[in-house]
Structures are given as structure tokens and as C-alpha cells.
Amino acid sequence: MSLPASVTIVEVGPRDGLQNLRQVLPTADKVRYIGLLAASGLTAIEVTSFVSPKAVPQLADAAETVAGIRDLPITPIALVANLKGARNAVAAGVRRLNFVLSVSTSHHRSNVNRTREESLAELAEIVDLAEKIPGFRVRASLATAFGCPFEGQVPIAEVLRWVGAVATLGITEVTLADTVGFGNPELVRQVLLACRDRFPGITCGVHFHDTRGLGIANALMGMQCGVTVLDAAAGGLGGCPFAPGATGNIATEDLIFLCEEMDVKTGVDLARLCEASRFLQSTLPGVDLPSRVFRAGPPKPRGPISE
């Protein structure tokens, strides 16, 4: 099996993991949670989103959260959906943005209340803004790339069309997201290979939700197709508040167990990561973290395989 020697896990627990929870975590708990994630070795962490506090009350403290983690040895990433959010993120000191745009019309409308074309025009302005600020980078996350909760299947041609649209703006990092877990490994393979063929200059990441149990299998297929950037949420919480039936991201613990057991290096200490999830669990009584490895406990170190 051909796998990358190492991968970058983009930890989205503080953003995607929390955004759909009814119970609003105090900023101090978010800061501590992010600190524990960083202590496990995670360096790329999506720490919040700069979006309407009415739409996502959980993340209304985005600027305060960013201020609280200033001294951590990580690259904080913030999700934004429009130019205003991008400006607010920049003002808060964030230099890496994740711009979300759905491949399907109806989820895009439900999620950000505008057309995809309107969002693309805003993304163009964000890219202009980025050019004026040293170290500023924008990634595009294409939601519903493997299926839409309103429209069902999403044609691969439509995925390619929107990868092409953001590529035209000069964006080179794209994350393909399976918003409600409709993707299967064969579809993942087809979409990733089509993207690689058509846009060899684009680095594709993946973002899987485990809504229908295939998230880790999809992540493995992503790595088999050469993907080295994978989103995951510690504990396995998550889900888009504007996608009916959405449930958690693949759990970072489970993804790291998958990788490390197969000698794909992640740089993350699984036992310490479980401590971050344990803290998160302690702040959320009544919420069960779906991560299997978190529930089972980190595995014992293993020796070499020998016949």
C-alpha cells in the first residue's frame, strides 16, 4: 500500500467541533483546550471562525479566543465566509484563513446566505487583501464536495468547476469537504484523481465527517491518493449547523491511530491528545465524544512486527 511518509493533521475541533454545540464554552475553556491540543504536537489548528455571532453563537468570541492563544507555538487558522469576516480575522491577528464555499447551490445558500458567485467575488477581494499582508495565506474549503444534504449527489464536474474557480484567483490550497458523510472511498478516489489530473498545481486536502461510518476509510483512501493534509476534530465532535443531519468530523485520535500504526508520521502524541479530549469532555457533561480511540484509551506502544 502506497502511503505518504508523513501528513499534516489540521485540527478543526475548536471550530468545527464546537460550532454545532448548544452549550457555549467559556473563552477560557476554549483557550485551555487549544493549549492542550498544541501540547500534543498539533501545529495547524483551526481555532475559530469569524462569522455572524447570530449564526454561530458558539464562536462569537473569535477575537478573544485568538488573543488568548497568541503565545502558543501553533499556526492558528480561522474559517471565514466573507470579506467582513476576513477583515475581522486580520484585525485579530490571524494570518491563515480558510474560506468556505459549497459546491452545491442550496447548501451554499443555507450556509452563507448568498450565491456561490457572490462568495467567489468576495474571495477575490480577500486574495487582494492577502497580497498586502506579509505571511497571509488563504485556503479554500469546498463544502458538499462529496454530496449535499439538500441535493444529494454532486457531480464531479461541478467539484472541478469550483476548484478551477478558486484556482483562477491564485489559490493553491483547497480542502475537499464531505459535509454530511455521503462520500465513499471509491468516490473519494475518483474526485481526488480528477482534481490532481486537472489541477496539478493545487494541493488538495480532505475534510471528512463520519456521519455514515466511512470517514476513516475515506481518509485512508485520501492518503492512498497522495493527500497529506487532513482535517480532523479531537474527540470527533462537529457538524455544519446549516446542514440537516450533520454529525461529527472524523476524530483526530482515530486518524492518528490509523496513521501511526501504518508508520505515517503525524508528529502528534496520542496519549496527550486524549488529555485534550478528556478536558473537553469534562466541560461538556452529557455530550459523548464519538472518538473510538478516546473511549478505548490510547493503545500501548507496540514492538516491531515480525513473522
Of 58, 76, 56, 80, nearest to 68 (Cα)? 76
Instruction: Please tell me whether residue 156 binds a second copy under the rule CB under 8 A.
Output: yes
Which residue number, 282 or 306, has a Cβ lying nearer to a second copy?
306
Task: Give the number of residues written for the chain.
Answer: 307
40 burial level (CB within 10 Å; 0-12, 13-18, 19+): buried
> Alpha-carbon torsion 297, 47, 16, 56, what sign?
positive
Give the whole-angstrom CA distance, residue 105 versus residue 260. Answer: 38
Q: Is residue 189 a contact point for a second copy (CB under 8 A)?
A: yes
Smallest gap from residue 252 Cβ to a second copy (A): 11
254 near a second copy, rule: CB under 8 A: yes
Here's the x/- map for a second copy, 190-209, by CB under 8 A: it reads as x-------------------
DSSP state of 41: T
C-alpha cell at 34: 487549544
Q: Is 288 in the site for a second copy (CB under 8 A)?
A: yes
Residue 213: strand pairing partners? none
Residue from 13, 17, 181, 222 that binds a second copy (CB under 8 A)?
181
Residue 274 grid cell? 486524549
- Residue written as grid cell 467582513: 84
| Contact residue for a second copy among 46, 122, 210, 231 (CB under 8 A) | 210
The span of 94-102, 107-115, 116-124, 298-306 binding a second copy (CB under 8 A) equals 298-306
Tell me the C-alpha distance between 277 and 33, whole Å.
Answer: 8
Judged by CB under 8 A, the stretch of 119-127, 166-174, 200-208, 291-299 that binds a second copy is 291-299
From CA 175, how far away is CA 225, in angstroms rounded? Answer: 14
Q: Which three cell numbers stand for residue 196?
A: 490532481
Single out the residue of 28, 91, 121, 262 in contact with a second copy (rule: CB under 8 A).
262
**Do 273 and 42 contact (CB within 8 A), yes or no?**
yes
Residues with catalytic roles: 240
**Nearest to a second copy of 126, 293 (CB atom):** 293
Q: Tell whether residue 186 is a contact of a second copy (CB under 8 A).
A: yes
Size of the site for a second copy (CB under 8 A): 48
Give the binding site for a second copy (CB under 8 A). 1, 3, 152-153, 155-157, 160, 181-182, 184-187, 189-190, 210-214, 216-217, 220, 245, 247, 251, 253-254, 257-258, 261-263, 288, 291-293, 295-297, 299-300, 302-303, 305-307
